[in-house]
Structure 1
Amino acid sequence: MPEETANYIHGHHESVLRSHSWRTAQNSAAYLLPYLEPHMRILDIGCGPGTITFDFAELVPEGEVVGLEYEGGVLEQARKGAKERGLGNIEFVVGDVNGLDYADNTFDVVHCHQVLQHVGDPVQALKEMRRVVKPGGIVAAREADFNGFTWYPENEGLEHWLDLYINVARANGGEPNAGRRLHVWAHEAGFPRKNIKCTAGTWCYADTEAREWWSNMWADRTLGSIFARKVIESGQITQDGLEDVAATWREWGKQEDGWFVLLHGEVVCRK
């Protein structure tokens, strides 16, 4: 199995899980939902705390969903959540997208959300996803595109944060502008161009509650996630500088006219 060469930039700090646990199939995988049928078997790669995975399980009541995560520690939370929702058709396992422990042609759908931007060889990951999906099945991926993020009002502190993030993400072996590259990676992984459907999606934080949640979450991530250690070790900023970036996030979140939009690339690839 190919060895992973990239390092996950966030880890599973509380602030990171706060963000991941907000995600649902509706707000993060709406582009895929029209393709789902009640009997399908789905592999959800990089499932984290499992909130998208839970929704998939409810949408395929006659099928089965497997949530796969590289770091097993977060799966305790996922399993607890599945039990609380009474989901009997769901399983959570530790695994690596670089070498999936499944036979060829096992799943109807293989899905990942915000995973390929963090791996060293996204084409290899997509090849593995393609291998384990059945003929006629679907590989679906959604990835952020950090240089496509936009906000109001203009803010030099957030520009600084974005530059830091992109530099550290690439130094870690990932590609923070994965969204615009998904269709190319999918074709290189073996999908004919005619079998790749490209779309784009956004998250928008503009009302008071959403803006404050987003800004405070990123302020906490800036100081508490693995990103903080990585960016200081890189020599790009000091601890005091990071404190200033976090303060900028919180100040922006209080702006009555504040508006933040994240761009995502999406692909549905038919085998």
Structure 2
Amino acid sequence: MTFSMRVDQTDQEVALSGMLRPFGADQMRAIRGTLETAAKNASGELCLDFKRLKYMNNVAFLEINRFVRWAVEARPNLKIRLIISSVIPWAIRKFQVIAEIYSSVSVEIYDVAFYPSQGMLEDAEFIDVLRLQERIIWEHEKTGLTNHGLYPGMKIADIACGFGDFAILLQKEFKPEHVTGVDHSRPALRYAQDHIRRLGLENVEYQYGDAAALLLPDNSFDFVSCRLSLQVFPQPERIMQELYRICKPGGRIYITNELLSCAYGYPEQDLIRATYKRFVELGRSIGMDLDTGIKTRQILGEAGLEDIRVNLIDINNMNTDCFDFARVVECWISVTANMARTAGAPPDYHAELSTGLRAHMAAITHPHGLASWPIYAGSGRKPMRVM
């Protein structure tokens, strides 16, 4: 069996990860013993975390089921919560059967709650605009990537990769050895996989996965990126822990995030400034922090990284095609409509946001206007471990 087990007595949680493939029940004896001890010591609720368990054969599943039956009988007042992920399809099918048998057992599909904004970010109508946004950012981002430690021949992981354009753009500029992209959006991954198939790229692969519980091995990548993504998750620190885990000692973790409240435009600067502040407030009401960029140095430092480097990617109508830039902002009108519906905001709230965003578009394309969209890029090195 290639697996690991972690017991957290404070949170009353036992987490199993890897692949659990015993040949017989006797090989499960130690695991059963650990689970029974945890159940005896727990009060209220015991959590069994299976979201990183890639595979479990029938022998293991039957022993887990027997443990649950034992716990229900031995500790009738103890509730048991089974934490699984939709990334592992068999887990839903198997564990929901256990929950149906025992009233004190519940199943939590962890990543459903962790990705509250996903539906509005993967609408098919946004594909062209989101890819346009990627290209706009890349033209200003690529010149700084060398300073963030990216060079040819690296093994790269791009987490929350979306439509996968970053991996393809890297091919031309940096010639990586291999790129693994991971995202939780199946439509985006289908698009990304079709794209690399058309281009005939053999050193790029995309995986369906959960950014906060990656099915990637420890210490495996020279360079780990997560771009414009921490800002849309309610618990970005959990994703940073995963980026740190999969990065090799001495490798670098690279993140980008917006500082949307500081997007500006002239003319109508007061209206535009107020609009983006409300945009950020709306995001926070549904678990998104669109001002995460200003916290870049703190995020990297708290993750345990060293040699931290941060720079501003300033997208403006003097260094970017103004009509492309305006088209991206126009897309945000639809994005904010979905956000407002999710937040339960009144109709006039979105109408006011739309007016301000259109004023920003007008400033972007105005012959004497000035408009900006600030994004912060940062990276840090994972410390080398003394063996």
- The interval holding the TM-score normalised by the smaller chain is 0.7 to 0.9
SS in 1 for 2:346: coil
The change in CA–CA distance for 1:16 and 1:156 in structure 2 (over 3 A counts) is: farther
The change in CA–CA distance for 1:234 and 1:116 in structure 2 (over 3 A counts) is: same
Conserved? CA contact 2:296–2:377, under 8 Å? yes
Aligned pair partner of 1:7 in 113, 116, 121: 116
Alignment-derived partner of residue 31 in structure 1: 144
C-alpha displacement at 1:166, in angstroms?
0.6
The change in CA–CA distance for 1:186 and 1:257 in structure 2 (over 3 A counts) is: same
Is 1:177 matched up with 2:291? Answer: yes
Conserved? CA contact 1:133–1:139, under 8 Å? yes
The change in CA–CA distance for 1:56 and 1:161 in structure 2 (over 3 A counts) is: same
Bigger shift: residues 136-145 or 234-243: 234-243
Alignment-derived partner of residue 161 in structure 2: 47
Bigger shift: residues 13-22 or 160-169: 13-22
C-alpha displacement at 1:245, in angstroms?
4.4
The change in CA–CA distance for 1:97 and 1:150 in structure 2 (over 3 A counts) is: same
Aligned pair partner of 1:198 in 310, 318, 326: 310
After the TM superposition, which residues 235-246 of structure 1 pair with which residues of structure 2 at under 5 Å, given as runs?
235=346, 237=348, 240-241=351-352, 244-245=355-356
Conserved? CA contact 2:264–2:273, under 8 Å? no
SS in 2 for 1:104: coil
Alignment-derived partner of residue 263 in structure 1: 374
Identity score, percent: 19
Query: How far, CA to CA, are the matches of 1:191 and 1:206 in structure 2?
Result: 35
Is 1:230 matched up with 2:342? Answer: no
Alignment-derived partner of residue 220 in structure 2: 106
After the TM superposition, which residues 113-262 of structure 1 pair with which residues of structure 2 at under 5 Å, given as runs?
113-192=227-306, 195-206=307-318, 210-222=321-333, 224-225=334-335, 227-232=336-341, 233-235=344-346, 237=348, 240-241=351-352, 244-245=355-356, 247-262=358-373
Root-mean-square deviation (Å): 2.6
Alignment-derived partner of residue 193 in structure 2: 79
Bigger shift: residues 36-45 or 129-138: 36-45
Query: How far, CA to CA, are the matches of 2:129 and 2:180 in structure 1?
Result: 21
> Which structure is larger by alpha-carbon Rg, 1 or 2?
2
C-alpha displacement at 1:242, in angstroms?
5.5
Structure 2-normalised TM-score? Answer: 0.62
C-alpha displacement at 1:70, in angstroms?
1.7
Bigger shift: residues 56-65 or 177-186: 56-65
C-alpha displacement at 1:235, in angstroms?
2.5
Aligned positions, number: 266
Conserved? CA contact 2:155–2:223, under 8 Å? yes
Conserved? CA contact 1:58–1:87, under 8 Å? no
Conserved? CA contact 1:124–1:189, under 8 Å? no
Give the gaps of 5 or more residues in structure 1.
none
After the TM superposition, which residues 85-100 of structure 1 pair with which residues of structure 2 at under 5 Å, given as runs?
85-100=199-214
Structure 1-normalised TM-score? Answer: 0.85
Bigger shift: residues 143-152 or 89-98: 143-152
Query: How far, CA to CA, are the matches of 1:153 and 1:28 in structure 2?
Result: 27
The amino acid across from 1:256 in the alignment is: P
